[in-house]
Amino acid sequence: MKEWHKHFDWLLLFCWGALAVIGLIAIYSATQGPVSEFLPSYIQRNFSNQLTWIFISAIAIILLQFTAPRSFQQVAFIFYGVCLFLGIITIFLGTEAGGATRWLVIGGLRIQVSEFMKLATILAVAQYLTSRRDISAEKLGPALTSVILMVIPAVIVLLQNDTGTALVMLSLIPVMLFWSGLPYGISLFIVSPAIIGYFAVLNWQWGLIVAIILTVGVFLIQRRPSLTMATFIVGLLIVIGVQVALYQILQPYQQARIEAFINPSMDPEGAGWNVMQAKTAIGSGGVFGKGFMEGTQTQLRFLPEQWTDFIFPVIAEEFGFIGAGLVLFIFGVLLLRLLNNAGDHKHPFAQLVMVGVTGIFFMHLLINIGSATGLFPVIGLPLPFVSYGGSSFLANSIMIGICLNLRLYQRTFTTF
């Protein structure tokens, strides 16, 4: 392609690189220096390992730019099937860590299949919804088929006891269906269980009030009595189900996380420890922070999993409001850039892929920072491109690489 550099999205690539560098700095601080005295040797190697994965991911992004965009359509269902197969194998043969069986060892390399399953789901749903002109989320049949395509991998991941990743996959349902033409009222109906469930965890009365508000909202938008009644019934069942799950279904450690989310001070040295230490680290950073490798919560190892799930408090403590705000600003630019590229593209497959990737990154950002600040229960999700993790970084980078490719070839990739 002549003058390809004029069509390449340098801003999106810059956001990827900036977050990767910030992540390296935070990982170094969280695993080296005084803190290393408290850490085993394999964790001390996290910085060099992450640097290796960044190099591998950069090569993957470059190689993807030489791939014909229609290739992603052609391999979508094959990739989806392979990931489902490997995900099922992981349930039975995977290695366990942190209460979840997430990793599959292949040739001596530990791979978190669920990270690649998110990309596979996006590609498969995008390909299905754009495979023919008569398929659209506006119709019940295609909408249900799309939901099934997204629910199956979520269930597999849930069986691996990885609740956070399963929730991220389920969040694709309203995002991709709405972009594909699902009416506003039905979209609100689909997301209502998550909204009601959140408030029901805090208090069952709040859950019921929110259910009534959403029911009224669905009625005003859609004007369908059957859908309105369904919204209220589903909301009522969610409120009851949350109460049953909290005390009858969830594992003890999951119940402890919920209780710590509601009131961390109830068990400050147990389940509430993570949230309280994370909030202390964030608050103590002030405007400019304590300085690189000077954060007490980080260097004295008060923060749990400070190189993965709680890496944002490391940044906030050592670089303050300025550093934390910079991370959020870069993420904002990245997400808006992806949405802008989706809106500008002429091909529906490319649009859905970019929107799906945006949804994945947004949910990770929301849940990760929400867990660190006490807005959500501690679920255990990495911050894209910043947290340590080879599979996560590579899978997310491939998503960026595909989006860069679709943007680069958008003038030639315009028809079904």
Same domain membership, residue 349 and residue 237? no
Is residue 52 domain-resident?
yes
Same domain membership, residue 245 and residue 279? no
Mean pLDDT, the chain, integer: 87
- Tell me which of 249, 280, 304 is where a domain ends: 249
Same domain membership, residue 46 and residue 191? no
Is residue 259 domain-resident?
no
Is residue 381 domain-resident?
yes
Same domain membership, residue 225 and residue 288? no
Q: Per-residue pLDDT tens for 381-391?
A: 899 999 999 99
Adjacency order of strands within the sheet including 100-106: 95-97, 100-106, 109-112
Same domain membership, residue 290 and residue 332? yes
Domain count, the chain: 2
Is residue 147 domain-resident?
yes
Which of the four pLDDT bands, split at 50, 70 and 90, describes residue 414? low
Same domain membership, residue 323 and residue 188? no
Same domain membership, residue 279 and residue 383? yes
Range of the domain at 224: 183-249
State residue 182's pLDDT score: 84
Same domain membership, residue 271 and residue 244? no
Letter for the amino acid at 331? F
Q: Per-residue pLDDT tens for 73-88?
A: 999 999 999 999 999 9
Same domain membership, residue 193 and residue 110? no
Is residue 80 domain-resident?
yes
Q: What is d(CA 253, CA 230) in angstroms, rounded to the nearest whole number?
A: 33
Same domain membership, residue 223 and residue 129? no
Same domain membership, residue 272 and residue 375? yes
Is residue 370 domain-resident?
yes
Same domain membership, residue 352 and residue 214? no
- Tell me which of 249, 278, 307 is where a domain ends: 249
- Tell me which of 249, 280, 295 is where a domain ends: 249
Nearest to 401 by CA among 55, 63, 46, 56: 63
Dihedral sign computed on CA atoms, order 234, 236, 237, 242: positive
Q: Per-residue pLDDT tens for 343-357?
A: 999 899 999 999 999
106 three-state secondary structure? strand
Is residue 229 domain-resident?
yes
32: left (phi over 0), alpha (psi -120 to 50) or beta: beta
State residue 164's pLDDT score: 86
Q: Pick 52 or 163 by higher pLDDT.
A: 52
Is residue 260 domain-resident?
no
Model's pTM, two decimal places?
A: 0.91
Confirm if 111 and 118 have CB atoms less than 8 A apart: no
